[in-house]
Amino acid sequence: MANEPWLGDACSLVDALRAGECSPLEALEACLAAAERSNLNAFSYLDHEAARKAASEADVGLPFGGVPVAVKELDHVAGWPHSEASVVFADRKSAFDATMVARLRAAGCVLAGQTTASEFGGVNCTSSKLHGTTRNPWDLERTPGGSSGGSAAAVAGGIIPVATAGDGGGSIRIPAGFTGTFGLKSTFGRIPKGPQCSQTPHTVTLGCISRSVRDTARWFDICSGFDPRDTLSLPSTGGWEADLGTLDLAGKKVAVVPDLGVAVVNPACSELVEEAAKELALATGMVQVPCDIHLPEGGMVWAMSGLVSLLAELGDRYPGCVDDLTPEIQIGLNIAEHHYDLATAAEAERFRTEANEAMADIFDSVDLVISCVNPDVAFDAAGPLRTTVGGRELMGELGFEKAIANNGALTIPANLTGNPAVSIPIGFVDNLPVGMQVLGRHHEEPVLLDIALAMERIRPWPLVVPGSPI
């Protein structure tokens, strides 16, 4: 441990710390050293002094006592940078801990440093003018996804056992799928977003990128539960880890629709998902049933509501700061500035209503839906966003807007409707990880976790990339 970071999951590190096999300070030092020598560019900030103090005082009897944890740079940590991965706010610092961060501290976590994200969490590729390009440990020429790309690269790359993440359009599931890690996008409101949180657009959920299902279950035991600073947060249910594997999945009806009826998907990824779903059904007794899925299209209208909020945050800095922004953000803000009005806002809410109705109709007839997480395997590390899928060029076929929207078409629906969804590693296409998405009914995360646990046993995935830390 003095030289190499822990390559198991976070729960196994807790066991090792309690058994005296290593100390929290040794675990931290190994993580810091790995982050310093890594060529993944997964970290934007390391808090050596405060982390060493916390590790030296860690109570290993706590749920994550002594475990080094990384924090995505879109999450607040008092005294740490809060640039949102943008040159525009490069000098800004946080004045407080986010509620999730405060709960992690109370559970004994040692906050080691800050992981890179896409600028303002805007795209599914982690490459910014402020921090440069973050790389996928499975292939350094590929992206780990976004916006939680740094967290996913650090966890998969063997640097740190677990990291915070957030999902407003797929930003937990997309990088989990690209890096072979596990990610749960919970029911909206499960982990509070406060303090000082914006209540709109009701799509962002908080969580983690982890190496195992039990790590994520313990994380939600720690971090979920109502907080008055987020009035839409949900009461705690408890028992996330203790109840793992206790549900009877036999007879549950599952629809396997790799493209979710809204995306163009690489046939090789689709076939892998179908194979894994058959194995899962055989092992659990779940029943595959046909289901016509008709989700509305309109992701760009939805995205513009978030871009309008960004315009307000930039304030009088915009448009003078435009050259400091990544090209995708520049294009999005220009569209929002010139085409977003009251009629568009009303259209966005109609789209959300249609999505809610369509998702409710689906879960009237089935218990679960299985699809791909991403339309294809990870693309070029520095971008641009992919417009080809399995060698098929979408730009001329679908047009620019739909070709770009295809990147998040499989994940955005669960954000719009607030449904929980998980990304489970199931194998590889072209030596790159593929994730299987399982969507469930509101508040039924325990079902998704038990399905993921079953899949973890059927097709065990590597906890870190072989040869890590890179």
The per-residue pLDDT for range 376-386, each reduced to its tens digit, is 999 999 999 99
CA distances from 41 to 27, 72, 383, 468 (A): 20, 13, 15, 14
Buried b / exposed e along 311-324 (16+ C-beta atoms within 10 A)? beebeeebeebeeb
Residue 230's DSSP bridge partners are 227
* CA–CA separation, 9 and 384 (whole Å): 33
- pLDDT at residue number 185: 98
Nearest CA among 290, 284, 292, 291 for reference residue 252: 284
Q: What are the DSSP E strand ranges found in 328-398?
A: 368-372, 388-389, 392-393
- pLDDT at residue number 132: 98
**58 CB-near residues (< 8 Å, 6+ apart):** 17, 24, 65, 66, 108, 110
- pLDDT at residue number 338: 84
- pLDDT at residue number 118: 98
Residue 163's DSSP bridge partners are 70, 209
Nearest CA among 458, 456, 434, 45 for reference residue 217: 456
CA distances from 57 to 23, 54, 60, 61, 100 (A): 11, 5, 9, 12, 21
Q: Domains in the chain, start-ordered, CATH in brackets?
A: 10-223 (3.90.1300.10), 253-297+346-452 (3.90.1300.10), 300-339 (no CATH)
pTM value is 0.97
**323 CB-near residues (< 8 Å, 6+ apart):** none
Give residue for tokens 């915070």: 164
Q: Identify the DSSP state of 120.
A: G
As given in the structure block, the two tokens for residue 324 are 């400091």
288 burial type by CB count under 10 A (0-12 exposed, 13-18 middle, 19+ buried): middle
In this prediction, what percent of the chain has a pLDDT beyond 70? Answer: 99
Q: Identify the DSSP state of 158.
A: T
Contact criterion met (CB below 8 Å) for 180 and 174: no
Residue 111's DSSP bridge partners are 69
- pLDDT at residue number 187: 98
Residue 139's DSSP bridge partners are 136
Give residue for tokens 């990128």: 209
* Helix, strand or coil, per DSSP, at residue 176: helix
Active site residues: 72, 147, 171
Over residues 413-465, the pLDDT tens digits come to 999 999 999 999 999 999 999 999 999 999 999 999 999 999 999 999 999 99
- pLDDT at residue number 208: 98
* CA–CA separation, 152 and 15 (whole Å): 23
- pLDDT at residue number 299: 66
Amino acid at 426: I
- pLDDT at residue number 350: 87
Over residues 95-154, the pLDDT tens digits come to 999 999 999 999 999 999 999 999 999 999 999 999 999 999 999 999 999 999 999 999
* CA–CA separation, 150 and 144 (whole Å): 7
Buried b / exposed e along 214-252 (16+ C-beta atoms within 10 A)? bbbbbbbbbbbbebeebeebbeeeeebbeebeebebeeb
The CB-side HSE value for 181 (13 A sphere, CA atoms) comes to 43
Contact criterion met (CB below 8 Å) for 155 and 433: no
Contact criterion met (CB below 8 Å) for 140 and 381: yes
* CA–CA separation, 297 and 294 (whole Å): 9
Q: What are the DSSP E strand ranges found in 340-443?
A: 368-372, 388-389, 392-393, 421-429, 432-440
Please list the ranges in the chain whose pLDDT falls under 70.
1-2, 299-300, 302
* CA–CA separation, 469 and 463 (whole Å): 12
Q: What are the DSSP E strand ranges found in 187-252?
A: 205-210
